[in-house]
Amino acid sequence: MLRLSNLDLAEDGVPHLADISLDFRPGLTTLLGRTGAGKTTLLRAIAGLAHPFGQISFNGQDWAQLPPWHRPVAMVTQQFINYPHLNVLDNLAFPLIRRGEARAAALAAAETMLGRVGLAQMASRRPSELSGGQQQRVALARALVKGAPILLLDEPFVNLDYNLREGMREELMALLQSGGETTVIYASTDPREALRMGDQTVLMSEGRALQSGAPRAVFAAPAALAAARVVNDPPINILSARLDATSLDIDHLGPFPRDALPEDLPPGGYSLALRAEDIRQNGTVSARVALTEVSGSETVTHLQAGAQPLVMLERRVQSHPLGAEIRLALDLRRALIYGADGALIAKGAAHG
Amino acid sequence: MYRQKYIFLLPGLLVLIAVILFPLIFTIRVSFSSWDVYNPGLNDAGGAMYARMWEDARYWQALWRLSLLSVATVLIQYLLGFALALLVWRDIAARRFFRVLFLVPMMTTPVVMSVIWRTIFHESLGPLNPILEGLGIGAQPWLSHPGFAFVAVIIVEVWQWTPFMFLLLLAGLLSLPSEPFLAAKIDGAGPIRTFLSVTFPMMGAISVGAILIRAIEASKIMETVYVLTSGGPGTSTETVSYYIYIRGMRDFQIGYSAALSLTYLIIMAVALTLIAKALMRLMVRGAGA
């Protein structure tokens, strides 16, 4: 088990890692967070490339004094990192030869792995002679052939186009099926990727680990407002609400039926987090279109209701002219309810 | 069609003919004459000058000496230059300091620099021998012993041209991408293995370029020998270009020195081509895991 205890790292007063304590077990864990959340720094710390305060240990062995080249770790980064002076086969054999394996055995293992990632025909080429996707496949194959018990994947497919990214993700999952007891840590900014891939997910923001658990459980109940922001794409809507015994009033949007929130919720101020898919057309809230994004078969519309920004997700490609007025229906019964300290208190009435 | 494009090539072509082709063809013609102080002019001596050259042991010894000198100086310059470049590669403050410091020998005129070094090596008046005596090593016959004189020429050449190698190799190191070094760390390569398997092979092309530039320059070494030792003691530090200078400019054997020069040119062209190919195979294409 890989154990991180109280990791702290700051540069020029900016925290990159803040009191991170996590355990990683064999299987795939996704690190989910926006750019700058500390995911890459955390992976670099595990690999020995960054040096935070705190303790990193693997199967009981303290790694404080262990240089990167002695750590049983393989890593794939966003950039297509290969050895430009070596051909593809030698690239794959490199970590095996460094580990002390005979050159012939290393080349044989490299050739087998090259076949598994579909690059058998490219063995004698230099990385610069390959496409971006092929180069990243070489980097991935080099990490996999090493057979390290810890595999760190830092947004490995982010620089690939959509179709290639989807394909590579499927390939990776297939390759990891035979990974056995490998601890895979996969950093991503895409909540859907985390939901689809991970056995576990860790939400990160501003160098902190906000929440960890099974991806669906984390998605269903983000423990804090910051976690709700991280785990939702399109962005989740945050509404300031005031509840009393008979009424519910939302800043900038006006009064709403009291029964949208649980009956036992005491009066007070709350933040309601409402997912973009829980806002629909044909309601009573007036808003103007600020931006429309069409992504695949979905449409994300950014709206402005007075001073309150809102995001609506609709199926199929929709056409909303800029500045057009839309009447929205907010399904507050599906909202997540956070207290003044940002912690999850309850879910809307529709969650049961 | 588009014939006018050749008009634009004409100035370059004329310069090429005037600067390279004419002197070369003229030298070939002169080498087949016995033009000297007694028989000036382009007579027809057939291959007599080449036959004479074939039996001129002093010429071949000078060529052999030049080869040794070139290999030794370029090798030492490369090793020292690479070591120094590696030392300051990651340290920006040191890099700036050394880059300025190392420009001094390169900016010094070779003749001036050789005069200074001749003074340093002077066996009774120079500062080097008292220093060596102070260290308990004892005074050395720097310029009066064949072996020491040869070493003195190497020292001066290395002193002057190591900075050039340093600057070229440092520029090469600074142009290397950082990602493969990160990958090497992750792939289990420590600092020494990273140097051998990543840094050195990735520096292959720039190393070959730097070595060839210095080898070409070293093969023409003349000023240092002329000022420092005048080819002596005896002929122990005489290089080919210095020997050709003696035959052509001092003895005025124009036909013979033309034959020596032409042969020297061919030998150097062939040798440097072979060296370039060997280095490319060894340091660039041969790089493996």
Report CA dihedral (A281, A282, A288, A294) to the nearest 10 degrees. 20
Q: Are strands A298-305 and A279-295 parallel, antiparallel or unpaired?
A: antiparallel
Give the Cα separation of A332 and A330 in Å (integer): 6
Q: Do residue B190 and residue A97 have CB atoms under 8 angstroms apart?
A: no
Phi, psi dihedral angles at A24 (to 5 degrees): -115, 125
Confidence of residue A5 (pLDDT cuts 50, 70, 90): very high
Closest CA–CA distance from residue B83 to any residue of chain A (Å)? 21
pLDDT of residue B207 exceeding 90, the answer is: yes
pLDDT tens profile B231-282: 989 999 999 999 999 999 999 999 999 999 999 999 999 999 999 999 988 8
Give the Cα separation of A272 and A241 in Å (integer): 7
The pLDDT assigned to B285 comes to 67
CA B20: distance to chain centroid?
A: 21
Q: Which domains are seen in chain A, by residue range? A: 2-222 (3.40.50.300), 237-351 (2.40.50.140)
Q: Are A209 and A20 in contact (CB under 8 A)?
A: yes
pLDDT tens profile B73-94: 999 999 999 999 998 887 777 7
pLDDT of residue A256 exceeding 70, the answer is: yes
Residue A147: both structure tokens together: 């057979």
pLDDT of residue B287 exceeding 70, the answer is: no
pLDDT of residue B20 exceeding 60, the answer is: yes
Which residue of B lies nearest to A45 if distances are taken between CA atoms?
B186
Confidence of residue B1 (pLDDT cuts 50, 70, 90): low
Q: In the predicted model, what is the mean pLDDT of residues B57-82? A: 96
Give the Cα separation of B18 and A276 in Å (integer): 79
CA angle A19–A20–A23, rounded 5-degree value: 145
Tell me the Ramachandran region of residue B2: left when phi exceeds 0, alpha when psi lies from -120 to 50, beta otherwise.
Answer: left
Closest CA–CA distance from residue A14 to any residue of chain B (Å)? 24
With CA atoms as reference, report the closest residue to A276 among A264, A263, A291: A291
Tell me the Ramachandran region of residue A206: left when phi exceeds 0, alpha when psi lies from -120 to 50, beta otherwise.
Answer: left
Q: Are A271 and A332 in contact (CB under 8 A)?
A: no
* Summary mean pLDDT of chain B: 91
Report CA dihedral (B87, B91, B93, B96) to the nearest 10 degrees. 60
User: Cα separations (Å) of A240 from A209, A249, A259, A345?
Assistant: 25, 9, 17, 14
More confident residue, B3 or A61: A61
How large a percentage of chain B has pLDDT more than 70? 98
pLDDT tens profile B185-195: 999 899 999 99
pLDDT of residue A91 exceeding 90, the answer is: yes
Confidence of residue A352 (pLDDT cuts 50, 70, 90): low
Q: In the predicted model, what is the mean pLDDT of residues A140-145? A: 91
pLDDT of residue B4 exceeding 90, the answer is: no
Q: Which domains are seen in chain B, by residue range? A: 57-285 (1.10.3720.10)
Sign of CA dihedral B213, B218, B223, B224: positive
DSSP A224-288: BHHHHHHH-SSPPEEEEEEE-SS-EEETTTEEE-GGGS-TTPPSEEEEEEE-GGGEEEEEEEEEE
Q: Do residue B289 and residue A93 have CB atoms under 8 angstroms apart?
A: yes
Q: Are strands A61-62 and A53-58 parallel, antiparallel or unpaired?
A: antiparallel
Contacts of A47 in chain B (CB under 8 A): 185-186
Q: In the predicted model, what is the mean pLDDT of residues B198-216? A: 94
pLDDT of residue A163 exceeding 90, the answer is: no
Residue B201 contacts A where some CB pair is shorter than 8 Å: yes
Q: Are A209 and A8 in contact (CB under 8 A)?
A: no
Which of A172-176, A301-305, B196-200 is predicted with the least confidence, judged by mean pLDDT? A172-176
Closest CA–CA distance from residue B32 to any residue of chain A (Å)? 49
Closest CA–CA distance from residue A3 to any residue of chain B (Å)? 19
Which residue of B lies nearest to A144 if distances are taken between CA atoms?
B187
**Sheet strands side by side (includes A237-243):** A254-256, A248-250, A237-243, A268-274, A336-338, A344-347
The pLDDT assigned to B192 comes to 92
Give the Cα separation of A231 and A336 in Å (integer): 13
The pLDDT assigned to B269 comes to 94
pLDDT of residue A165 exceeding 80, the answer is: no
Residue B219: both structure tokens together: 């093969």
* Summary mean pLDDT of chain A: 90
- Please name the member of A48, A77, A95 whose beta carbon is closest to the beta carbon of B187: A95
Residue B287 contacts A where some CB pair is shorter than 8 Å: yes
Q: Do residue B289 and residue A94 have CB atoms under 8 angstroms apart?
A: yes
Contacts of A44 in chain B (CB under 8 A): none
Residues in contact with A256: Cβ distance below 8 Å, sequence separation at least 6, in sequence order: A248, A249, A250, A330, A332
3-state secondary structure of A74: strand
The pLDDT assigned to A300 comes to 94
pLDDT tens profile A235-255: 999 999 998 888 889 988 888
Residue B281 contacts A where some CB pair is shorter than 8 Å: no
pLDDT tens profile A45-67: 999 999 999 999 999 999 988 99
Contacts of B182 in chain A (CB under 8 A): 49, 77, 81
Among the ranges A13-27, A60-74, A106-120, B68-82, which has the highest mean pLDDT value?
Answer: B68-82
ipTM of predicted complex: 0.78
Question: Which residues, numbered 62 to 91 in chain B, qualify as contacts with chain A under a Cβ-Cβ cut-off of 8 Å?
Answer: none
Confidence of residue B286 (pLDDT cuts 50, 70, 90): low
Closest CA–CA distance from residue B33 to any residue of chain A (Å)? 52
Phi, psi dihedral angles at B140 (to 5 degrees): -120, 150
**Sheet strands side by side (includes A298-305):** A308-315, A298-305, A279-295, A325-330
